[in-house]
């Protein structure tokens, strides 16, 4: 006896563009890119965009070996202009409904994709931050066993700048500067991004919030690496660019 009950249609796959800026990451690059290429998320189609910025350590040759991967788009810049420039370059090529920014090192875990994408798939949020601060972490987010003073300075700066962001935007965030920023691609409509270095983290966050996209923070796994292990932030020059980016992004045009 046949049933007249409607047959439920399969849910459409969501599309996610994963942007991976790459510069002088040869030590961890093969491991990182292999993991990214192998990554799957149930219900999602992943578009992988690798942006290589003319590295001097052989990273470009490693990136070249992924040319035949069907989900991978390769972008080769003629010279390094900074992480922000690489991300902006990839944004112009991205076609996914959502964007995720992924570094080419091993600080962040790909296992966190699923929980970070849940609020986006559910439609409850348009902007998600993967927070490196977990309950019980206290003050420290970065713990460099080989450079404890550097870790203390970076942790102190993190909380100072976080307070600046929170007060100026009327929001409460613990980790506005996380690399894991995931958002609807159409949230960028009406927004112009101009920053070229790590200051893009500030510009992207501030302008998305000003445009009405208030993020939800979800705790993630984080394995911080020290400067000796390849961290590229310049401890004295970069904070100045962050403050300039804050002023322009908070008070200037979107």
**CATH code of residue 123:** 3.90.550.10
Count of alpha carbons within 13 angstroms of residue 251, beta-carbon side: 6
Residue 61: both structure tokens together: 């040759």
What's the chain's length in residues?
Answer: 254
Contact 208, 185 (CB under 8 A): no
Q: Strands 98-101 and 72-76: what pairing? A: unpaired
pLDDT value at residue 185? 96
Domain that holds residue 66: 14-251
Give the count of domains, the chain.
1
Decide: 9 and 41 in contact? Cβ < 8 Å: no
* H or E stretch at 114: helix 113-122
Q: What pLDDT shows up at residue 183?
A: 97
Longest dimension (CA), the chain: 76
| CA triple 134-112-16, angle to 5 deg | 135
Would residue 8 count as lying in a domain?
no
Domain assignment of residue 3, yes or no: no
Could you say which residues of the chain have pLDDT below 50? 1-2, 9, 138-140, 142, 144, 225-231
Is 170 inside any structural domain?
Answer: yes
7 assigned to some structural domain? no
CA-to-CA distance for 200 and 126, rounded, in angstroms?
19
Q: Whole-number mean pLDDT of the chain?
A: 86
Identify the bridge partners of residue 15 per DSSP, sorted by sequence position: 45
């Amino acid at each position: 006896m046949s049933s007249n009950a409607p047959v439920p249609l399969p849910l459409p796959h969501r599309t996610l563009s994963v942007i991976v800026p790459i510069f002088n990451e040869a030590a961890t690059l093969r491991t990182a890119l292999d993991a990214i290429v192998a990554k799957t998320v149930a219900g999602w189609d992943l578009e992988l965009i690798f942006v290589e910025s003319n590295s001097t350590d052989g990273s470009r040759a490693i990136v070249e070996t992924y040319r035949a991967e069907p989900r991978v788009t390769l972008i080769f810049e003629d010279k390094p202009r900074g992480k922000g420039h690489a991300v902006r370059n990839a944004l112009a090529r991205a076609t996914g409904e959502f964007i995720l920014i992924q570094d080419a090192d091993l600080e962040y875990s790909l296992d966190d994709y699923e929980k970070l994408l849940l609020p986006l798939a559910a439609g409850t949020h348009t902007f998600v931050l993967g927070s490196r601060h977990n309950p019980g972490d206290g003050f420290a987010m970065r713990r460099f066993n080989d450079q404890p003073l550097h870790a203390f300075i970076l942790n102190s700066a993190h909380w100072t700048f976080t307070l600046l962001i929170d007060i100026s935007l009327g929001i409460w965030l613990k980790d506005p500067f996380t690399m894991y920023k995931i958002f609807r691609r159409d949230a960028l409509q009406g927004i112009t991004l101009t920053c070229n270095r790590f200051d893009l983290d500030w510009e992207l966050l501030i302008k998305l919030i000003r445009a009405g996209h208030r993020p939800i923070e979800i705790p993630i796994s984080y394995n911080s690496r020290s400067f000796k292990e390849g961290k590229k932030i310049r401890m004295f020059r970069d904070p100045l660019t962050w403050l300039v980016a804050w002023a322009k992004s908070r008070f200037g045009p979107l």
